[in-house]
Amino acid sequence: MLNKACAVILAGGEGKRMKSAKPKVLSEVLFKPMLRWVIDSVRKAGIEDICVVTGSRREYVEEYLSSLPFKTETAFQSERLGTGHAVMTAMDFLKNHSGSSVLILNGDAPFVSEDAIKEVLAAGEKCACAVLSAEVSNPFGYGRVVRMPDNVSLKAIVEEKEADDETRKIKEINSGVYCFNADILMNALGRLKKSPVTGEYYLTDTVGLICGSGETVLVCKSSDPDTVLGANDCIQLSQLNEIARRRVLEDHMKNGVSIPCTDGVIIGTDVTIGADTVILPATVIRGAAVIDSGCEIGPGVLIDGQTIHKDQ
């Protein structure tokens, strides 16, 4: 049994196409930065030791992390030389967690769930590395997961730019979530070489090195293809917001909240609403708002963190 797991979250991307002063990971989905979505899922899965790798405009990320009610460590990637290089910058953190499982994931993938993290952690306890995958209808741009003949363990992860035509037909893709044995990961990082095509150090190549040394790498396929979704511009960010909005509304409706028309209704992830409450169109509820049972809210109302009682 390995020691308590830790996590490294990659949050150094610049996100030029967002055309924002903030780094991409601070772009919000339902009023909450994508980075916080990832951190929350990691913490719900039982991991408290977290290192966030910063990069472009790191002062924004560091300021945000300092505002949270818990501590995280940071590492700085001064040059954008790939995901493998990003993890190398957290080497001191990894050394301090020798003998542990280490979860690696991206800070701009807000739909990585607590359950998916627990699944890949459990698999990682049994092998040198476990990879979370997902099957999507359009795999363009993603690293393809190539399985061994046993259909359980991994043969390779092949990046889009380096894949041949046959490999590009594969629809199972790498989610960017891994669970490594920390010591095996550090050994592989020490042997990592730049890609001759892009000049970057790929974290996926560490997986190949581990496979090549005879260690087992397991694949866990997520049941939710949205696990891999991120946003590179405000159009894609809007799409993430709509997916998240719909999920939150459906969760409330399953718990007895009536939303007869969802037009313009936006409810944040930290909102609590009692059963038999009716939410009318163009209502926005955010923050840690609490709505009693049996209320009628809206239309056209903004509630920002308040508690609403039935007799108000």
User: CA-CA distance, 105 to 127, in Å (whole number)?
Assistant: 18
Q: What is the pTM of this model?
A: 0.93
Residues 114 and 11 in one domain: yes
* Nearest alpha carbon to residue 207 among 135, 146, 157: 157
| Region for residue 148 given its phi and psi (left: phi exceeds 0; alpha: psi -120 to 50; beta: otherwise) | beta
Residue 138, in any domain of the structure = yes
The whole-number pLDDT of residue 196 equals 87
Report how far apart, in Å, the C-alpha atoms of 156 and of each of 9, 20, 124, 281 are: 22, 36, 17, 49
Give, rounded to a whole angstrom, the gap between the first and last alpha carbons of the chain.
54
Task: Tell me which residue range forms the domain holding 278.
Answer: 255-308
The whole-number pLDDT of residue 188 equals 96
- CB atoms under 10 Å from CB of 165, counted, come to 6
Residues 56 and 162 in one domain: yes
* CATH number of residue 133's parent domain: 3.90.550.10
Residue 245, in any domain of the structure = no
Residue 102, in any domain of the structure = yes
Please answer whether residues 206 and 182 qualify as being in contact, where contact means their C-beta atoms are separated by less than 8 angstroms.
no
Residue 269, in any domain of the structure = yes
The whole-number pLDDT of residue 197 equals 82
Q: How many domains does the chain have?
A: 2
What are the beta bridge partners of residue 32? 29
Residues 214 and 267 in one domain: no
The whole-number pLDDT of residue 198 equals 86
Last residue in a domain, options 193, 228, 263: 228
Residues 81 and 123 in one domain: yes
The whole-number pLDDT of residue 4 equals 85
The whole-number pLDDT of residue 216 equals 92
Residues 185 and 84 in one domain: yes
Residue 239, in any domain of the structure = no
Last residue in a domain, options 193, 209, 228: 228
Residues 197 and 265 in one domain: no
Residue 215, in any domain of the structure = yes
The whole-number pLDDT of residue 14 equals 80
User: CA-CA distance, 80 to 12, in Å (whole number)?
Assistant: 8
Average pLDDT of each block of 10 consecutive residues along the chain (312 residues)? 84 88 95 97 97 95 97 95 96 96 96 95 94 94 92 90 92 96 96 90 91 92 92 95 98 98 97 98 97 96 95 74
